[in-house]
Amino acid sequence: MGAGNAAAENLIQSLKRAEPTLVLIGCHEDRFVLKHSMADARHLVPSPGASDFLRRIADLVRACHIDLVIPTADGHVFALSSGRRRLTGKLFLPAHSVVKLCRDKYALAVALRRRGLPAPATYRVKRLEAIEGIFGRFGHPARLWCRPRTGTCARGGGSVSSPEQARNWICLWEAMQGVPASSFTLSEYLPGREILCQSVWLRGRMILASTFERLSYFGVDNIPSGVTSLSSLAKTVIEPAVVALCRHAIRAIAPRTSGAFSVDVKEDEHGRPHITEINAGRFFMAMTAFDRILKHSSALTYVRLARGERVDLDGAYDAVDDYYMVRDLDIAPGVFRGEEFFDGIEDSRASGIDPKRV
């Protein structure tokens, strides 16, 4: 699903590279985006919010003898999960209660903290007048993180340094984007590294996991917060403690779960990891691009588990260090070893250009 978009095309390329015999059918509600897809066949479908979405997807599954429907965005996950009875045997998703919990960032933070797991302390903004009191609960810190309870790509998120700034930020989003103040939360600000953990599960067991560090973001010059969840630069990292934390967290909220989970982890000022978000039912938009250099393909592992095939993995942590993914608009993601960034590049910053070599 979402064929033509970055998440779907990265997934398609990963699957084609790992298992060329797979037939991959793409669908999207926008024919202009769909036209760009590398899928073997392309179908225009209603949007996930349309009343006939599930019926049309079920018709397509029957007509094309599709084995598995793979969502690539939260909207797909929620729509398919809500109507999973229409697609019995064609989905590989966590329980709908888990999907709903992870969709609500406030409810997830509360659930994790109640279970003794590290997640940022978070409070709802029930009304603008309550913001001063929330800052007081944190002891009037230098910064808090303000964001809506739902949404993707860090939409509506930004650091705020005072109650007045928080009110202005929320009022701006309400006026410009129609996001009501009651949709926002304030949580403790975590200044450390941002680690991503992508994993595939089967009946309560983590089958395969990999980790990455997000280093920079798309389009930050045009975004007041300077933060999105769209990586323009990311690298592989070896962080077994982060994997262990994510395993405990997912088992705590979904003891018998299956499917894909993508977890955002942020470190505090002491380097301690905290779970800030769990994307249930899908992979990270760009991280399947790393499948080409990992020992195991997360995308193919997901498909094989979903189809009931044997996978000889159990808790495998697929970790390599010092590979970087570079992304930009209109080009495919590139994955390079750290040392390769010195190959074929002349450094003319200090000494200038040698005219003998021009």
* Per-residue confidence (pLDDT) for residue 168, from 0 to 100: 96
Q: Does domain 121-188 have CATH number 3.30.70.330?
A: no
* Per-residue confidence (pLDDT) for residue 221, from 0 to 100: 66
Name the architecture of domain 194-342: 2-Layer Sandwich (3.30)
Is residue 326 within 8 A of residue 38, CB to CB? The reply is no
Return averaged pLDDT per consecutive 10 residues of the chain, 358 residues in all.
Answer: 94 96 97 96 96 96 97 96 95 97 96 97 95 95 94 84 96 93 96 96 97 85 68 92 97 96 96 97 91 94 96 90 88 88 84 56
* Per-residue confidence (pLDDT) for residue 260, from 0 to 100: 97
* Per-residue confidence (pLDDT) for residue 222, from 0 to 100: 63
Alpha-carbon 312 to chain mean position: 26
DSSP string, 216-276: EETTGGG-TT---S-EEEEEE---HHHHHHHHHHHHHH-TT--EEEEEEEEE-TTS-EEEE
Q: What is the pTM of this model?
A: 0.91
* Per-residue confidence (pLDDT) for residue 352, from 0 to 100: 58
